[in-house]
Amino acid sequence: MVGCKRDVAVFKDLGINSIRVYDVDYTKSHDECMKLLEDAGIYLLLDMPSPQYSINRAEPHWDHDTMGHWQAKVDAFSKYPNLVAWIAGNEVANDVETTPSAAFVKAAIRDMKAYLKTKKLTTPVGYADNDDPKIRMNLINFFNCGDEGSRADFYGINTYRWCGDETDFKTSGYEDITKNMTSYTIPSLLTEYGCNLVRPRTFSDVKSLYGTDMGSTFSGGIMYEYTEEDNEYGIVKVSFGDSKVEKNGDYDNFKKALAAVKPQGVKMDSYKASGKDSVCPAASNVWHVKSDVLPPTPSQARCQCMIDSLGCTFKSDKLSTAEGKLVGEVVGNICGATSCDEISVDTAKGMYGDFSACSSLQRSAWA
């Protein structure tokens, strides 16, 4: 609790009302810290994935094990009234070659929204992209097309275009970002911002983000980042279990930038929906997804039924790294010699095998 008390005091000094946390240990109690944040009027945007249970952009997959861990995180945090949103993926598809991963993230959004619904929860589930010029519009359209149950509830953009005071709303490209989202039908925000290529950071983009340039299009943003790491984006230095806070020059500049703006916001009774749903992007040489077909919802029962039908399978449900590598090579050889359609995936064609959502070990056993 030392760190939480320390940081909440700093958040209050900055005058912020929301923070984004990328990962937590959901098996531990966060009651005291979440209450401190609530009392300070601070909301939490929490990422669903964790380093161990996430969608790998290079070899994307969405299975029951990963979904189960996300559901457990939802169960642990949904009791907190200041949990404002879930983020189902952060820069997962970050170039043309990794666009297939977007299909799995959208499938995850579909399934997690359905899970929240069974719990009678309406917490929005969104996605955060990396503002890549070759795929950004396809991503923006993809996560806001199709049936409502699979669309994202909000869209986040991680952008570092605005660097220093010599840049402005137009030359930074922020004007283009805003135009892209003007007719978007779901809320959008900057889930990361704060270029550090020009020092000191003065955060001159804050005026546009919360002013007339962007205020009517974007729902604010999350400055990256709070604590200093090797990438030198932090505005404070802290140590675990220590109440001391070492603020750098960026801290004062960010606080000053926030104090200079007066966001107006929109009251619910004044809100009027506008725009239209996006058109799903077609599969192409820069978009390797058949957008109207998503990976199946993971089914533990289906996968177990398949395992039970096999003449032989693995003795253990866990393999060492060396064993996993060897099994991968064997499965590759088998699937190179005969059809493995039942466990295979082709996102560009919208083809997902009946057991493609099973775990890697289960799919290997099938082969």
Catalytic residues: 91, 192
Residue 157, number of CB atoms within 10 A of its CB: 24
**Packed helices 100-118 and 64-77: angle between N→C axes, nearest 10 degrees:** 50
Residue 156 to residue 130: CA distance in whole angstroms: 9
Q: Which residues in 327-340 are b (16+ Cβ under 10 Å) and which e?
A: beeebeeeeeeeeb
* Pairing between β-strand 236-237 and β-strand 246-247 as defined by DSSP bridges: antiparallel
Residue 86 to residue 280: CA distance in whole angstroms: 23
Element (H, E) at 11: helix 2-14
Give the residue from 116, 180, 98 showing the smallest Cα distance to 144. 180
Please count the CA atoms within 13 angstroms of the CA of 118 that sit on its side-chain side.
8
- For residue 155, the cross-strand partners are 127, 188
Token couple for 238 = 């802290």
Element (H, E) at 18: strand 18-21
Name the phi and psi angles at 175, rounded to 5: -65, -40
Residue 294 burial by CB count (10 A; 0-12/13-18/19+): exposed, middle or buried? buried
